[in-house]
């Protein structure tokens, strides 16, 4: 496998790396296993100190780290800086709240006493994607290191410098060898690694294919897995919505991270009576977005992460148009050098058209007009994915009622699907299973041990 930094705006190779040898990988897993035996005996306060130190270093080095993100996967520099801030916030959040989340939980019993005690389970493998190279790692590593587990991290092959930088942060913060380890290996080798008896659980964010492969091996070897596999989020606009605000958030929701976001607002579903107004304003805003160098702070849309990514997205649009979809705006790869795609709006989408079913990972919005609220709900649920979604209405109770009928792991009212440390993140259906962030994210890879104390007069 080729592990390289290829700058998306220029398509120039910046750096290349070799994979770890089998011997080096075996040693790394052994070090993580050895480190766990000591790390699990440390206090929450000691573990929290490590996370706080890493967060502090992230903020101290934010400018340098943000440039690495933009260099490797093309994120706008301002958004890269925001990602570093968010990642540091997640580390601090678990440092501040982890002990409380993991405190003994007393049970109310008819006889005797009992409580649940949380304890770590061992070495965990994380397989993480390129689109948020620091945030994705932080939301997996922070809670599990606080629990007392040790972490092996296989990062995406196109962000090796980001992967090394995170490893360096933990080392500089004083993490004992083996508590956090970066693995330079292929996806195939990562899947095979799941079968190693020393690995006790695996978390993957990525494609359905990768998730199915990893989950199959984990299931065969009776190991816990958590999967986040993408989405096709609906962005519902009801007739009583503030249209200008809905349009503003639709642009952010669809174009954030150059559209390469699992919870992007990919399907804009608008009730007929306000559809024309919404579409006109949405098209006008997209047509004025400045596409260019992601290091330039005036740029509003950068390149896709790679040549493969832009070729795949352009092909999805082409196949969709051939099947009957119409292009209202854009629709093509840009003629300039680099992995750039025009901001695009597709309409007239029906079942059987690729864009109706597939996740479009880039600056392409799918627009649907529907008769009423129920039609909007039905269309939102007509997807194999179930990650997030949004409902725009001035009637909050109505928004909650609609949200309750949408089959996803997350629904936001009057805001596109978003993420922050104190909100649980995860989906249903083919978007995967399990939760990250908030209190739920720290409970995935723990032993919830029952301790029951019998008394002399117990009837048992």
* pLDDT tens column, 107-116: 998 888 999 9
Q: Are 408 and 436 within one domain?
A: no
Beta bridge partners of 364: 344
Q: Are 169 and 97 within one domain?
A: yes
* Four-CA torsion 236, 241, 245, 247, nearest 10 degrees: 40
E strands along 306-445, which residues? Answer: 326-329, 344-347, 364-370, 385-386, 389-392, 412-413, 428-429, 432-433
Q: Indicate the average pLDDT of the chain.
A: 97
Distance CA 131, CA 305 (A): 8
Q: Are 238 and 221 within one domain?
A: no
Beta bridge partners of 204: 127, 227
Read off the CATH number of the domain in which 365 is found.
3.40.309.10
Write down the catalytic residue from 228, 342, 373, 436.
Answer: 228
Read off the CATH number of the domain in which 50 is found.
3.40.605.10
Q: Are 238 and 213 within one domain?
A: no
Q: 24 in a domain, yes or no?
A: yes
Q: Are 193 and 225 within one domain?
A: yes
Cβ proximity of 343 and 287 under 8 Å: yes
Q: 289 in a domain, yes or no?
A: yes
Q: 177 in a domain, yes or no?
A: yes
Q: Which residues does 442 contact at the CB level (< 8 Å), separation at least 6?
A: 94, 98, 101, 102, 143, 144, 146, 147
Distance CA 92, CA 53 (A): 9
Specify the pLDDT at position 458. 66
Distance CA 401, CA 409 (A): 15
Specify the pLDDT at position 456. 66
Distance CA 310, CA 338 (A): 9
Domain of residue 402 covers 234-413
Number of domain units in the chain: 2
Tens of pLDDT along 3-30?
A: 999 999 999 999 999 999 999 999 999 9
**Alpha-carbon 248 to chain mean position:** 23
Q: Are 25 and 167 within one domain?
A: yes
- What string of pLDDT tens digits covers the 460 residues of the chain? 789 999 999 999 999 999 999 999 999 999 999 999 999 999 999 999 999 999 999 999 999 999 999 999 999 999 999 999 999 999 999 999 999 999 999 999 888 899 999 999 999 999 999 999 999 999 999 999 999 999 999 999 999 999 999 999 999 999 999 999 999 999 999 999 999 999 999 999 999 999 999 999 999 999 999 999 999 999 999 999 999 999 999 999 999 999 999 999 999 999 999 999 999 999 999 999 999 999 999 999 999 999 999 999 999 999 999 999 999 999 999 988 899 999 999 999 999 999 999 999 999 999 999 999 999 999 999 999 999 999 999 999 999 999 999 999 999 999 999 999 999 999 999 999 999 999 999 999 999 999 999 876 666 5
Q: Are 222 and 240 within one domain?
A: no
Query: Residue 369: exposed, middle, or buried by beta-carbon count in 10 A (0-12, 13-18, 19+)?
Result: buried
Cβ proximity of 90 and 421 under 8 Å: yes
Residue 33 annotated among the catalytic residues of the structure? no
Q: Are 137 and 156 within one domain?
A: yes
Q: 424 in a domain, yes or no?
A: no
Residue 455 annotated among the catalytic residues of the structure? no
Helix or strand or coil: residue 418?
coil
Specify the pLDDT at position 112. 84
Chain length of the chain = 460
Q: Are 87 and 177 within one domain?
A: yes
Distances (CA, A) of 181 to 114, 167, 228, 322: 37, 6, 22, 47
Specify the pLDDT at position 376. 98
Q: 337 in a domain, yes or no?
A: yes
Cβ proximity of 326 and 304 under 8 Å: no
Q: Are 178 and 299 within one domain?
A: no
Q: 386 in a domain, yes or no?
A: yes
Q: Are 269 and 336 within one domain?
A: yes
Smallest CA-to-CA distance from 259 within 230, 280, 228, 229 is with: 230
Cβ proximity of 247 and 255 under 8 Å: no
Global confidence as pTM:
0.96
Write down the catalytic residue from 260, 262, 342, 358.
Answer: 262
Q: How crowded is residue 334: how many other Cβ atoms within 10 Å of its Cβ? A: 18
Distance CA 183, CA 152 (A): 7
Computed from CA positions of residues 314, 317, 320, 321, in that sequence, does the dihedral angle turn out positive or negative?
Answer: negative
Distance CA 180, CA 158 (A): 20
Longest Cα separation, the chain = 82
Q: Are 156 and 193 within one domain?
A: yes
Specify the pLDDT at position 1. 73
Structural Rg of the chain based on CA atoms = 23
Specify the pLDDT at position 132. 98
Q: 421 in a domain, yes or no?
A: no
């Amino acid at each position: 496998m080729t592990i390289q930094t290829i700058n998306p705006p220029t398509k120039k190779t910046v750096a290349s790396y070799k994979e770890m040898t089998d011997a080096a990988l075996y040693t790394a897993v052994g070090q993580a296993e050895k480190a766990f035996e000591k790390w699990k005996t440390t206090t929450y306060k000691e573990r929290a100190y490590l996370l706080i130190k890493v967060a502090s270093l992230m903020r101290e080095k934010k400018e340098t780290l943000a440039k690495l993100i933009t260099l490797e996967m093309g994120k706008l520099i301002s958004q890269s800086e925001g990602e570093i801030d968010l990642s540091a916030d997640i580390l601090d959040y678990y440092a501040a709240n982890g002990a409380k989340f993991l405190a003994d939980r007393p049970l109310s019993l008819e006889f005797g006493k009992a409580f649940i005690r949380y304890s770590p389970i061992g070495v965990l493998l994380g397989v993480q994607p390129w689109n948020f190279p620091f945030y994705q790692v932080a939301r997996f590593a922070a809670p599990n290191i606080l629990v007392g587990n040790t972490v092996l991290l296989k990062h995406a092959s196109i962000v090796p410098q980001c992967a090394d930088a995170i490893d360096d942060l933990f080392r500089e913060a004083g993490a004992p060898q083996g508590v956090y380890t970066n693995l330079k290996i292929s996806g195939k080798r990562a899947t095979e690694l799941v079968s190693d008896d020393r690995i006790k659980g695996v978390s993957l964010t990525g494609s359905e294919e990768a998730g199915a492969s990893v989950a199959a091996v984990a299931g065969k070897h009776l190991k816990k897995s958590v999967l986040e596999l993408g989405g096709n989020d609906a962005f519902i606009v009801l007739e009583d919505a503030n249209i200008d605000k809905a349009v503003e958030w639709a642009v952010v929701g669809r174009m954030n991270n150059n559209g390469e976001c699992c919870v992007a607002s990919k399907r804009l579903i608008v009730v007929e009576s306000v559809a024309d107004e919404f579409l006109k304003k949405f098209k006008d805003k997209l047509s004025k977005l400045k596409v260019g160098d992601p290091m330039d702070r005036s740029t509003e849309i950068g390149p896709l992460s790679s040549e493969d990514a832009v070729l795949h997205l352009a092909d999805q649009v082409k196949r969709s148009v051939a099947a009957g979809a119409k292009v209202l705006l854009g629709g093509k790869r840009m003629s300039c050098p680099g992995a750039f795609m025009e901001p695009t709006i597709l309409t007239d989408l029906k079942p059987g058209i690729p864009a109706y079913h597939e996740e479009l990972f880039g600056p392409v919005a799918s627009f649907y007009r529907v008769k009423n609220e129920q039609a909007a709900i039905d269309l939102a649920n007509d997807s194999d994915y179930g990650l997030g979604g949004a409902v725009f209405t001035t009637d909050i109770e109505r928004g909650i009622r609609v949200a309750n009928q949408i089959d996803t792991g997350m629904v936001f009212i009057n805001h596109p699907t978003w993420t922050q440390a104190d909100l649980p993140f995860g989906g249903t259906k083919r978007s995967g299973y399990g939760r990250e962030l908030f209190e739920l994210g720290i409970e995935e890879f723990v032993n919830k041990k029952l301790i029951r104390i019998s008394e002399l007069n117990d009837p048992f």
